[in-house]
């Protein structure tokens, strides 16, 4: 069986990574240059797919600190332009994330700052012109930062004041930043790191209705260029709008369930100024359950899958998270 490394690990000169057959190699090189999104963007495709985050704009007291450890398992198809001779590309990805967030008051409103880092690995199998192959990647992912502030209904309150409040509508805004700190090798199309900066401004609203809640958020990912893509090429990507909707039920503080839907579209890419036919039009749905384990510990279980996908990853994802929180004295 020939290695899928031919698809993902070709050198600048187009030399072999351990298999022979220059005609097959030349065709594979042509395939990779016109199918950059499908394999180069595995992890960045997962970013909007896993941004089904209910309660992201719900109110919290000031002085709250959270440490979260999360494991996510994603598996499914990587979809290409059907005219390309790359078929049945399957991916199984594991991601291990650790993050920290802190809330504080600013101009009378509550705000928060968060940071996370991750390690990821992936196994891929597929066919290039009918020849089966496989590949494996692992390494540290890009660091993520997020600043958020409530603009309406999120007054800065101490934990004691917060417990006495009546739930109300909250409107917030946030800015997420992904820094190019992850493992990246320009000789490979598949990388854990993206070798570029990404920014996502977003606005969101949370509306309590008795023990129920409904939420929505709209944002857009903006990308800088990767100037060292696959052996020194220049790769750019158009903005990628992302929309989320959530509806759920609270039994008591910390114990809730939510139904989630996300839609993202756009994100056309180009390599050296030549555009790819890879516009994303993907819809995902899922369920999130939060369970308090003790006064300071809680757990979260989430499941999601694609209901419609055009180009990129069409994954089913299961994640489990453990969270510890405390308040500043």
Checking if the pLDDT of 14 tops 50, the result is: no
What's the rounded mean pLDDT across residues 313-321? 88
Which residues does residue 316 pair with via DSSP β-bridges, in sequence order?
Answer: 75, 305
Domain ranges (residues) in the chain:
5-327
Residue 29 has pLDDT above 60, yes or no: no
Surface-to-core class of residue 308, CB atoms within 10 Å of its CB (0-12 exposed, 13-18 middle, 19+ buried):
exposed
**Is the Cα dihedral 310, 311, 314, 319 positive or negative?**
negative
Q: Which of 65-69, 91-95, 149-153: highest mean pLDDT?
A: 65-69
CB atoms inside a 10 Å sphere around CB 89: 23
Strands 131-140 and 64-79: unpaired
Rounded CA separation 247/243 (Å)? 14
- Cβ proximity of 268 and 310 under 8 Å: no
Calculate what percentage of the chain has a pLDDT beyond 70: 80
| pTM of the complete model | 0.85
Provide the mean pLDDT of the chain.
83
Higher pLDDT, 309 or 58: 58
Helix/strand/coil for 56: coil
The domain 5-327 having CATH identifier 2.60.40.10: the answer here is no
Q: Where are the beta strands (DSSP E) in the chain?
A: 64-79, 86-106, 109-128, 131-140, 143-152, 170-179, 198-209, 212-223, 226-229, 233-237, 240-252, 255-266, 269-271, 274-275, 280-292, 297-308, 312-327
Mean pLDDT of 252-258: 94
| pLDDT greater than 70 at residue 267 | yes
Q: How many CA atoms lie within 13 A of 96 on its CB side?
A: 6
- Residue 311 pLDDT class (50, 70, 90 cuts): low
Residue 10 has pLDDT above 80, yes or no: no
pLDDT bin (cut points 50, 70, 90) of residue 9 is very low
- DSSP classification of residue 29: H
Give the tens place of pLDDT for each residue, 117-148: 999 998 888 877 777 878 888 999 999 999 99
For the ranges 6-10, 153-157, 197-201, the lowest mean pLDDT is seen at 6-10
pLDDT tens readout for residues 68-117 = 999 999 888 876 656 566 677 788 999 999 999 999 999 999 999 999 99
What is the model's pLDDT at position 280? 79
Mean pLDDT for the stretch of residues 264-285: 84
The pLDDT > 90 percentage for the chain reads 51
- Per-residue pLDDT tens over the stretch 177-228: 999 999 998 888 778 888 999 999 999 999 999 999 999 999 999 999 999 9
pLDDT category at 26 given cuts 50, 70, 90 is very low
Decide: 263 and 282 in contact? Cβ < 8 Å: yes
pLDDT at 8 over 80: no
């Amino acid at each position: 069986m020939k290695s899928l490394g031919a698809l993902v690990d070709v050198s600048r000169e187009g030399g072999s990574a351990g298999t022979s057959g220059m005609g097959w190699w030349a065709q594979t090189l042509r395939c990779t240059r016109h199918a950059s999104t499908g394999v180069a963007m595995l992890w960045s495709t997962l970013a909007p797919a896993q941004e089904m985050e209910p309660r992201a704009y719900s109110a919290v007291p000031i002085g709250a600190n959270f440490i979260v450890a999360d494991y996510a398992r994603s598996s499914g198809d990587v979809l290409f332009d059907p005219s390309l001779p790359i078929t049945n590309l399957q991916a199984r990805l594991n991601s291990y994330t650790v993050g920290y967030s802190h809330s504080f008051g600013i101009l009378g409103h509550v705000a928060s700052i968060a940071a996370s880092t991750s390690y990821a690995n992936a196994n891929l199998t597929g066919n290039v012109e009918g020849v089966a192959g496989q590949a494996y990647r692992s390494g540290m992912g890009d660091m993520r930062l997020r600043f958020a502030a409530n603009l309406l209904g999120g007054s800065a309150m101490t934990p004691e004041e917060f417990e006495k409040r009546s739930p109300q509508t909250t409107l917030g805004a946030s800015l997420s930043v992904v820094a190019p700190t992850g493992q990246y090798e320009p000789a490979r199309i598949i990388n854990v790191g993206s070798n570029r900066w990404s920014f996502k401004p977003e606005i969101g609203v949370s509306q309590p209705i008795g023990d129920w809640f409904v939420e929505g958020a709209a944002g857009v990912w903006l990308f800088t260029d990767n100037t060292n893509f696959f052996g020194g090429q220049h790769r750019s990507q158009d903005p990628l709008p992302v929309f989320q909707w959530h509806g759920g039920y609270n039994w008591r503080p910390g114990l809730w369930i939510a139904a989630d839907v996300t839609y993202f579209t756009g994100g056309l890419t180009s390599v050296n100024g030549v555009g790819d036919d890879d516009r994303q039009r993907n819809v995902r749905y899922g369920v999130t359950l939060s369970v308090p384990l003790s006064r300071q510990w809680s757990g979260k279980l989430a499941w999601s899958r694609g209901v419609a996908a055009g180009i990129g990853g069409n994954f089913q994802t299961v994640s489990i998270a453990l969270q510890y929180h405390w308040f500043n004295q």
